[in-house]
Amino acid sequence: MMKLACTILVLFWSIAAQAAPLTATRATDLQDAIDGLTAAAQNSGYELVKVQPIDKALVKRGYPDPGVRILFIGKSSAMAQAMKVNPRLLSMLPIRLTLISENGVIVVNSDDLETWKAIFPDPDTALLIESWKRDLKVILGDFSER
């Protein structure tokens, strides 16, 4: 039942948002999701750079964990390509994935790469961003199939 609900949500999001962040959904906990995304990223040549918990100070003060993490993934060749094609893209790397845990389901969102293409409209930059978008689709697909 949960897989059906997740599948329906993913289909809805993919239809509703043409130029939107890429998303993936999986019924699991945060640590398993982080491990799964790390493995999926590694399968595509990326590595986990950092995991950033959100509202860490609140948790230290006894408030509940809001269940949000930001994962930063990257690869050295992406940095080199960005330097060559458009050094301003370095401000957007490593790539960010936001994980939100809600009732045992993890939703992963990427940045909206179409917005990046609008900010940097030259053809070479758009091609590079498209290659990152393809990589993210593979990574998120790999994550959601695990």
Structurally, the chain folds into a number of domains equal to 1
18 located within any domain:
no
Q: Give dist(CA 82, CA 99) in Å, integer.
A: 25
In terms of Cα–Cα distance, which of 92, 97, 69 is closest to 79?
A: 92
The reply to whether 17 falls in a domain is no
* 34 occurs within a structural domain: yes
**pLDDT score for 1:** 46
Average pLDDT over residues 41-52: 96
Under a CB-based contact definition with an 8 Å cutoff, are residues 51 and 34 in contact? yes
Label residue 59 by pLDDT band (50, 70, 90): confident
82 is a domain residue: yes
How far is 61 from 94, CA to CA, in rounded Å? Answer: 30
Three-state secondary structure call for residue 22: coil
CATH number where 131 lies: 3.30.310.70
Q: For a pLDDT cut of 90, what percent of the chain falls above it?
A: 66
Q: What is the SS3 assignment for 125? A: helix
Ramachandran area for residue 124 (φ above 0: left; ψ -120 to 50: alpha; else beta): alpha
Q: Which residues contact 1 (CB under 8 A, 6 or more apart)?
A: none
pLDDT band at residue 19 under the 50/70/90 scheme:
low
Range of the domain at 50: 2-11+23-145
How many angstroms separate the first and last alpha carbons of the chain? 17
Preceding peptide of 94 cis, ω within 30°? yes
Report the side by side order of strands in the sheet with 95-102.
Answer: 23-27, 105-110, 95-102, 68-74, 47-53
| Threshold 0.85, pTM exceeds | no
Judge whether residue 14 has pLDDT over 80: no
